[in-house]
Amino acid sequence: MPTETTGTPSTTALRSEIEADVRALRDSFDAGTTRGLDARLAQLAALRRGLRREEPRLARALAEDLGKSRTESALTEIGVVSQEIAHTMKHLRSWLRPEKLALGAMLAPASGELRREPLGTTLIISPWNYPVNLTLAPLVAAIAAGNTTIVTPSEVAPATSAALTHLLRSHLDPDWVRVVEGAVTETTILLEQRFDLIFYTGNAAVGRIVARAAAEHLTPTVLELGGKSPVFVDEGADLAVTARRIVWGKFTNAGQTCIAPDYLMATPRTLERLRPHLRRAVRALYGGRPERSLDYGRMVSAKHFERVLGLIDDDRAILGGTGEADADTRYLPPTIMQDVDWDDAVMGEEIFGPVLPLLAVSGPDEAIARIRSGDKPLTAYVFSPRRAVEERFAEETSSGSLALGVTLAHVGTPGMPFGGVGESGMGAYHGRAGFEAFTHAKPVVKKPLTPDTLKLVYPPYRGAKRRMLRRLMR
Ligand code: NAD
């Protein structure tokens, strides 16, 4: 833990405030505030009302932090959360219904059920790229599951952090949800506290810090991380549609999307034919001057602008490039780079910006081998007219999800668990998966005292009893 959090008078005061928040939420949980179905539904309804009322404020903040258009914010941020609330409110009663357990002959007579109990007081740490969606969608699950929660939005999107804080403080009950705004110091103090679940979305380096801190209290974690999500375009795919879907997935939010297609693999022949379609798709979506498009975003900060700028090699850019970039407005053009090698800088890290490298492979065999040789990605994308090729990617590669013929849109649905595997994270949420992530599945078993059938398994084990037990356990 950084030492900056120990000692100074201001951090001492901050620590006391945070400890008081955690204590208040724990007391509230222990008092049963969050147990009842109606109480949970009421908080979810309050969140839905707040989201509607504060929509203009949130949209303004998203435009300020990320240059997001109102429509894009409605589609990828606020709309996703509204859907999540509606789906959860519709299904919560049935999710809470205990499931009957089949216990088997050995325990008979007995009955059993699986109950979903809330974990307690939870912590949600969220990132800046979809700050509304990635803060509130996990919160919907936390509330539905009957927990109390501290939310800490990312300081890297400051306007949205302030708007979210306003929304949560003015519409939700502080006995359920509290917000701690701030940066590393605040998060570090939060991580010293004992929680019953930590739900973190962000990069894997901080993911490791979170997991280490959680281990101190044996706190379970859901880690929603990122990585380089590959795309493979097969021979024979409809290249016009494929190009539009890839361009949309890549350049939405100026590439600052955890599941954005990171790099594209195809045979040299397919790349040759795909290139004009990619250029055309960028023009169709964002016009000839994307800096003037109301639907094209900006890099979140000067630091991120500089980092992604440094990954662009102008000699290989067939669209965009550093010459069109503008540091003052943090504008990076949609950039496509050809003839990229596996050891180029742009392939050394998750790009997380509007740069699409094109890499030549010999076919599906090499594409699969490349994916298998790296970290398990959050999503893998395949565009192929061949069922057998799709099936090979499904069977031979591992990723958080596999999307065939589609980018981004697949994760907006509450019916699909969303999460990573390996280096791209652990655990999943959205819909029922989120409810499950924030609950413990507790078997409750009941056996009548008479007849006392357990007499059959008590020692001493002699003669007929021993023979019977040995036979039974075979
Ligand atoms: P970020 O910098 O906003 O960090 C995320 C959170 O971690 C913030 O709340 C921040 O305050 C906190 N944090 C930062 N440094 C910390 C430290 N040293 N100690 C404790 N807490 C700290 O966001 P980011 O990490 O730049 O987000 C981008 C990354 O997140 C990308 O890798 C992306 O792929 C990934 N991501 C994943 C998902 C997903 O759902 N799987 C979604 C969005 C982003």
Q: Which atom of ligand 1 is nearest to the CA of 130?
A: 43
Where helices occur in 229-383 by DSSP H, the ranges are 239-251, 268-286, 302-309, 364-373
Whether the Cβ atoms of residue 134 and residue 80 lie closer than 8 Å to each other: no
Q: What does each C-alpha distance from 200 to 58, 139, 213, 222, 381 come to in angstroms?
A: 22, 12, 12, 6, 24
Q: Which atom of ligand 1 is nearest to the CA of 2?
A: 18
Q: Residues of the chain whose pLDDT is less than 50?
A: 1-4
Q: Which atom of ligand 1 is nearest to the CA of 419?
A: 41
pTM of the predicted protein model: 0.95
CA distance 288 to 63: 22
Verify whether ligand 1 is closer than 6 Å to residue 140 (CB atom): no
Verify whether ligand 1 is closer than 6 Å to residue 211 (CB atom): no
Distance 8 CA to ligand 1 centre (A): 26
Q: Residue 272 has which token pair?
A: 């040759």
Distance 366 CA to ligand 1 centre (A): 32
For residue 171, the number of C-alpha atoms closer than 13 Å in the C-beta half-sphere is 21
9-225+427-441 topology per CATH: Aldehyde Dehydrogenase; Chain A, domain 1 (3.40.605)
Q: What angle do CA 144, 148, 151 make, to 5 degrees?
A: 100
Distance 201 CA to ligand 1 centre (A): 6
Verify whether ligand 1 is closer than 6 Å to residue 226 (CB atom): yes
Verify whether ligand 1 is closer than 6 Å to residue 184 (CB atom): yes
Q: Residue 245 has which token pair?
A: 């879907």
The rounded radius of gyration (Å) of the Cα atoms in the chain is 26
Of the candidates 190, 170, 169, 191, the one whose C-alpha atom is nearest the C-alpha of residue 178 is 169
pLDDT at 4: 45
Distance 332 CA to ligand 1 centre (A): 21
The best mutation among 201, 212, 305, 430 to test binding of ligand 1, ranked by most ligand atoms within 8 Å of the C-beta, falls on 201
Tell me the catalytic residues.
224, 258
- Count the Cβ atoms, other than its own, within 10 Å of residue 4: 11
Of the candidates 39, 23, 62, 81, the one whose C-alpha atom is nearest the C-alpha of residue 172 is 39
Distance 125 CA to ligand 1 centre (A): 8
Same fold, 9-225+427-441 and 230-419: no
Q: Which atom of ligand 1 is nearest to the CA of 424?
A: 41
Q: Please state which CATH class domain 230-419 belongs to.
A: alpha beta
CA trace torsion 284, 285, 289, 290 (10° rounding): -160
Verify whether ligand 1 is closer than 6 Å to residue 80 (CB atom): no
Verify whether ligand 1 is closer than 6 Å to residue 127 (CB atom): yes
Q: Which atom of ligand 1 is nearest to the CA of 191?
A: 20
Per-residue H/E/C for 105-123: HHHCCCEEEEEEEECCEEE
> Which residue's entry shows tokens 């440094």?
310
Helices (H) and strands (E) in the chain — how many of each?
Answer: 16, 16
Verify whether ligand 1 is closer than 6 Å to residue 114 (CB atom): no
> Using CA positions, which residue lies closest to atom 10 of ligand 1?
154
Whether the Cβ atoms of residue 65 and residue 300 lie closer than 8 Å to each other: yes
Provide CB contacts within 8 A for 400, sequence distance 6+. Answer: 376, 377, 378, 379, 418, 419, 420, 421, 424, 425
The best mutation among 179, 206, 352, 376 to test binding of ligand 1, ranked by most ligand atoms within 8 Å of the C-beta, falls on 206
> Which residue's entry shows tokens 């000692």?
7
pLDDT at 278: 98
> Which residue's entry shows tokens 């000839």?
288
Ramachandran category for residue 388: left, alpha or beta (phi over 0 → left; psi -120 to 50 → alpha): alpha
CA distance 14 to 123: 17
pLDDT in tens, 221-251: 999 999 999 999 999 999 999 999 999 999 9
Whether the Cβ atoms of residue 43 and residue 142 lie closer than 8 Å to each other: no
> Using CA positions, which residue lies closest to atom 39 of ligand 1?
224
Verify whether ligand 1 is closer than 6 Å to residue 155 (CB atom): yes
Distance 92 CA to ligand 1 centre (A): 29
Verify whether ligand 1 is closer than 6 Å to residue 399 (CB atom): no
- 206-214 long-range contacts, Cβ below 8 Å, gap at least 24? 207/425, 210/125, 213/1
Whether the Cβ atoms of residue 316 and residue 337 lie closer than 8 Å to each other: yes
> Which residue's entry shows tokens 């996990």?
138
Whether the Cβ atoms of residue 390 and residue 384 lie closer than 8 Å to each other: yes
Q: Residue 149 has which token pair?
A: 């929660």
Distance 133 CA to ligand 1 centre (A): 14
The best mutation among 5, 123, 129 to test binding of ligand 1, ranked by most ligand atoms within 8 Å of the C-beta, falls on 129
Give 444's strand partners.
113
Q: What does each C-alpha distance from 253 to 243, 278, 298, 352 come to in angstroms?
A: 17, 18, 7, 10
In the chain, where are the structural domains located? 9-225+427-441, 230-419
Q: Which atom of ligand 1 is nearest to the CA of 202?
A: 30
Distance 397 CA to ligand 1 centre (A): 26
> What burial class does residue 288 get, using C-beta atoms within 10 Å of its C-beta: 0-12 exposed, 13-18 middle, 19+ buried?
exposed
Distance 77 CA to ligand 1 centre (A): 17
pLDDT in tens, 392-413: 999 999 999 999 999 998 888 8
